Amino acid sequence: MVVILLGPPGVGKGTQAVRLADSEGWAHVSTGDLLRSALREGTTLGEQARGFMNAGELVPDALIMDLVREHLAALGPEVGILFDGFPRTTAQAGGLDAVLAESGRKVDTVVLFEASDDELVKRLSGRRSCPECGAVYNVFFTPPENEGKCDRCGAALQHREDDAPGTVERRLQVYQEQTAPLVAYYQAHPAGVVRVPAEQSVDAVHGEFRAAVGVG
């Protein structure tokens, strides 16, 4: 099973992905996490990406796809995959279809989490994330057991600079500009799009999410 999670920043994709991955033994794949891991480990792909980043350039889609391809090769064919916030563009979506086809996989379901801008601003201002394992918390809704520390691995949580209220509105605008074509792409794709209203409790959202991907 290959599932793509779409939704604006702060809608809860990471929280839901981690929860489902933990309960079902699926792989939670965030290209940001893959990139940070490659940089930290100094892999060949990581060093290639570092060159672009040091030059102030975006990491090319082809290199991102190579990172995804490398990661998929390390997973068994029976392992479910949750792509969190990726792809971001229709070009990446087409590239992902091609990479998955190489290993006999395909996108099975696309889940779009939706919430109002006002709700997202509140969530983002309280969001804290773990730089090591990718777990996401919120000081208002889902705080960690120990303030400032990840419950899963104990790493110090971070509040991303781009989660500051002054930058959130622009991020949401960019998301809408980029994602509208992507949603249209998947609505015409065999996988289709299932919409999940995310302004509910975490448990209620998770129940609808599990139903969307066919996990009882």
105 is catalytic: no
Give yes or no for a contact between 99 and 72, defined as CB atoms under 8 angstroms apart: yes
Q: Which of 152, 171, 195, 210 is catalytic?
A: 171
State how far the Cα of 68 lies from the Cα of 125, in Å rounded to an integer: 30
171 is catalytic: yes
- Short-list 209, 179, 130, CA closest to 9: 179
State how far the Cα of 76 lies from the Cα of 203, in Å rounded to an integer: 29
19 is catalytic: no
Q: Which of 19, 122, 123, 127 is catalytic?
A: 127
Query: How many alpha carbons lie under 13 Å from residue 143 in its C-beta half-sphere?
Result: 7
Pairing relationship of beta strands 136-138 and 127-129 according to DSSP bridges: antiparallel
State how far the Cα of 70 lies from the Cα of 43, in Å rounded to an integer: 11
The sign of the torsion formed by the CA atoms of 147, 151, 155, 158 equals negative
Q: Which of 88, 105, 152, 195 is catalytic?
A: 88
Positions marked active-site: 13, 88, 127, 160, 171
